[in-house]
A and B are shown apart, each in its own frame.
Chain A
Amino acid sequence: AQSVTQPDIHITVSEGASLELRCNYSYGATPYLFWYVQSPGQGLQLLLKYFSGDTLVQGIKGFEAEFKRSQSSFNLRKPSVHWSDAAEYFCAVSFFGNEKLTFGTGTRLTIIP
């Protein structure tokens, strides 16, 4: 069965610092990968997605992610975080022929001044 691992439950970074959130998936087929962000009490907003092609994907709000098949990873990065980036971040995966989107357990991002 497909699964997603986000090894970091909580990350704290200083405003202006760079950010990397980790995501690993498991399954044999080619994955379709997503990063979502959720502010408290809100729905999920799609930051970016990878289906095929260029393994470096640009998203909204200055985020990017890189698909590395050899490491089964899809890490999210931002060169300089803003206080408004504080939220919960979810990595998700699905596969061709499988409609089900499986979410990781999430990483809570805290920004300090």
Chain B
Amino acid sequence: DTEVTQTPKHLVMGMTNKKSLKCEQHMGHRAMYWYKQKAKKPPELMFVYSYEKLSINESVPSRFSPECPNSSLLNLHLHALQPEDSALYLCASSQALGNYGYTFGSGTRLTVV
């Protein structure tokens, strides 16, 4: 298995809702990442996990809450989002922290109404 699987592919949520994005990989990678991508922009790093511990938080608002329950799974919990949070959320993984190159998932298209 050489893929990063993200679910759901599309999500529409209200500003008072609570939802979660899920990311899974079975490549034995020990580093996992969340990126946010607005339309016609490059991906922007949000969080980095290494060996299931949070390594980097790029000053992301607390309405985004990451969780890494095990080495194969990465969640992003969403609560009280704003319309400007609408974007493509990409998960990625790599063998470890460092410079091995990332494998990206196909993303979750999030719309906040």
Contact = CB atoms under 8 A, between A and B. Distances in A.
B interface, how many residues as a size bin? 20 to 34
Contacts of B56: 99-100
Contact of B43 (A44, A45, A51, A95): A44
Contact of B42 (A95, A99, A105): A105
Nearest to A100: B45
A49 to B, nearest CB: 5
A43 B25 CA distance: 15
Interface in A54-97: 90, 94-96
A46 B97 CA distance: 17
A90 B50 CA distance: 24
Interface in B85-106: 88, 90, 92, 97-99, 101-106
A51 B99 contact: yes
A-B pairs, top 4 by smallest CB distance, nearest first, are A103-B42, A32-B99, A43-B104, A43-B106
Interface of B: 4, 6, 31, 40-43, 45, 48, 50, 55-56, 88, 90, 92, 97-99, 101-107, 109
